[in-house]
């Protein structure tokens, strides 16, 4: 492995930001005009009782939560990378550590799905998504996790090991490797005849596997974000009539 892999964060849809900022600036302007200062609880209520505040704030909080999970996955990748470079990087059993890191990745990755269900439900509760569209979005979202879920079950529940079982490597996985990495990967496979070499092979494999899974997920997530943002803006234009009244 030549360099440490870092998964990029999810970028929120830019065309959703102006409406949120306009609303926040309007709240601030009204506060300044009247010399009013709101408590944190009152500001929360203002946003929760306003469509632009509630939906857009929750949208950005959702993306923030997903990026926090990605930050955790990057820590897993860093530890796997360090194990690839030196199996004695950490105290304790390197085998147990590698298995813990891999299980933790799957747990964190599927936590993304559960967190996203909450936001999709919010969109349905606010009538941005009807029942049919909500079910379609959830089905599409869950499909992204299907292959990873099957692979996770094979590893954890069927007790598959890299030494004793025939692990098939998809060609697309090898295609994502540089020429030098492909050479090192082939060398590791051929030398996977000791515990140390099997462990190093496992670390290299999962570092690349996690990187591939996360990059595909982030591409999908950003496409979905843009679609949901379009639906929110369309809903605002077609359904909502916003009136700002000055209370004297």
Closest CA to 7 of 218, 201, 185, 173: 218
Residue 8 resides in a domain: no
pLDDT at 98 over 80: yes
Residue 169 resides in a domain: yes
What is the per-residue pLDDT across 163-222, written as a single tens digit (0 to 9) for each? Answer: 444 445 555 555 565 666 656 555 655 555 566 777 777 788 888 889 989 999 999 999
Residue 1 resides in a domain: no
Helix (H) or strand (E) holding 39, with range, is none
What is the per-residue pLDDT across 56-70, written as a single tens digit (0 to 9) for each? Answer: 888 988 999 999 999
Residue 4 resides in a domain: no
Task: Quote the CA–CA distance of 121 and 82 in Å, as a whole number.
Answer: 40
* DSSP state letters, 169-216: PPHHHHHTS-HHHHHHHHHHHHTTTSHHHHHHHHHHHHHHHHHHHHHH
Q: Work out the widest C-alpha separation in the chain, in whole angstroms.
A: 81
What is the per-residue pLDDT across 24-80, written as a single tens digit (0 to 9) for each? Answer: 677 677 677 767 676 767 666 766 666 666 788 889 889 999 999 999 999 999 999
Residue 3 resides in a domain: no
Task: Quote the CA–CA distance of 232 and 116 in Å, as a whole number.
Answer: 16
| Domain total in the chain | 1
Range of the domain at 150: 15-238
Closest CA to 47 of 27, 30, 66: 27
Cβ distance 77 to 189 under 8 Å? Answer: no
Residue 248 resides in a domain: no
pLDDT at 136 over 70: yes
What is the pLDDT at residue 144?
86
pLDDT at 242 over 60: no
Cβ distance 90 to 79 under 8 Å? Answer: yes
């Amino acid at each position: 492995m030549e360099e440490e892999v870092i998964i990029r964060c999810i970028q929120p849809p830019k065309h959703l930001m102006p409406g949120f900022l306009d609303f926040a600036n309007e709240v601030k302007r009204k506060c300044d005009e009247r010399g009013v200062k709101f408590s944190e609880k009152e500001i929360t209520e203002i946003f929760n009782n306003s469509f632009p505040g509630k939906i857009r704030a929750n949208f950005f909080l959702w993306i923030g939560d997903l990026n926090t999970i990605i930050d955790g996955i990057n820590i897993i990748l860093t530890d796997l990378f360090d194990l690839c470079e030196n199996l004695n990087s950490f105290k304790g059993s390197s085998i147990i550590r590698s298995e813990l890191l891999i299980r933790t990745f799957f747990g964190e990755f599927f936590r993304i799905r559960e967190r996203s269900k909450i936001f999709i439900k919010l969109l349905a509760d606010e009538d941005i998504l009807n029942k049919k569209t909500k079910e379609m979005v959830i089905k599409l979202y869950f499909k992204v996790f299907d292959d990873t879920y099957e692979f996770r079950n094979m590893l954890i529940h069927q007790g598959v090991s890299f030494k004793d079982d025939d692990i098939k490597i998809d060609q697309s996985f090898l295609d994502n490797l540089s020429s030098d990495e492909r050479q090192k990967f082939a060398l590791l496979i051929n030398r996977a005849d000791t515990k140390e070499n099997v462990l190093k092979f496992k670390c290299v494999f999962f570092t690349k596997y996690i990187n591939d899974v996360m990059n595909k997920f982030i591409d999908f997530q950003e496409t979905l974000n843009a679609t949901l943002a379009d639906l929110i803006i369309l809903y605002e234009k077609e359904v909502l009539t916003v009136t700002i009244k000055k209370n004297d």
